[in-house]
Amino acid sequence: MDHALRIILPLYLLAFFGIAFVWRSFLVWKRTGINPYVVGKTDKPIDFIENIYRIPVLILIAVTIVFALFPDVYQYSAPILWLENSIVEIVGLGFMTFALIWTATAQMQMGKSWRIGIDIENKTDLVEKGLFTVSRNPIFFGMRAALFGFFLCLPNALTLLAVVLADVLMQIQVRLEEEFLKSAHGESYENYCRKVRRWI
């Protein structure tokens, strides 16, 4: 199974970031003329959080490259041996497959409202359809599922660190984004929050 994962995991990272972020951002820009990447460089908490996301992403990319190309070096990432078996890896791949489909679907349903970060300059519609009827944050939920699946496929100290750090950052960002949506959409968003749970 390790030989298959050395091919699958790098391809998955390319697919996830390509489909879920690059392609979706390009489509929004093409349709609206607005750059959906609105991560700033100010001292605001949301900008700080969004810029810190690079750390767990870089950790996952680095571990994946080392695992795929330098298996002897990979042993220094402190693998969690009791989790290394084919059943756990298959479950992890299942989570990752689900997460990719779920996240891409949620982003498609967001349409022109898709953003990376909080866009204070361009008002977006409140999305309440599709997966947004079961989760207020289906994209973040999908990302959490992908990270958990990735950890099951490649359980070690570094992937565990990346997953925990990314999850903490998502928990904070979701709350900051919800505060922004309350101010932007007022009672409509508050009614939506009463009907739909934060995660699922």
In this prediction the pTM is: 0.89
Tell me what percent of the residues of the chain surpass a pLDDT of 90. 59
User: Coil, helix or strand for 136?
Assistant: coil
Mean pLDDT of the chain: 90
- Look up the CATH number of domain 2-195: 1.20.120.1630
The pLDDT, as a whole number, for residue 91 is 96
Length in residues, the chain: 200
**Phi first, then psi: what are they for 79, rounded to 5°?**
-60, 145
- How much is the average pLDDT of 141-145? 95
* Burial class, 14, CB count within 10 angstroms (exposed 0-12 / middle 13-18 / buried 19+): exposed
Domain boundaries, the chain: 2-195
List pLDDT tens digits, range 40-86: 766 777 778 878 888 999 999 999 999 999 988 998 899 998 999 99
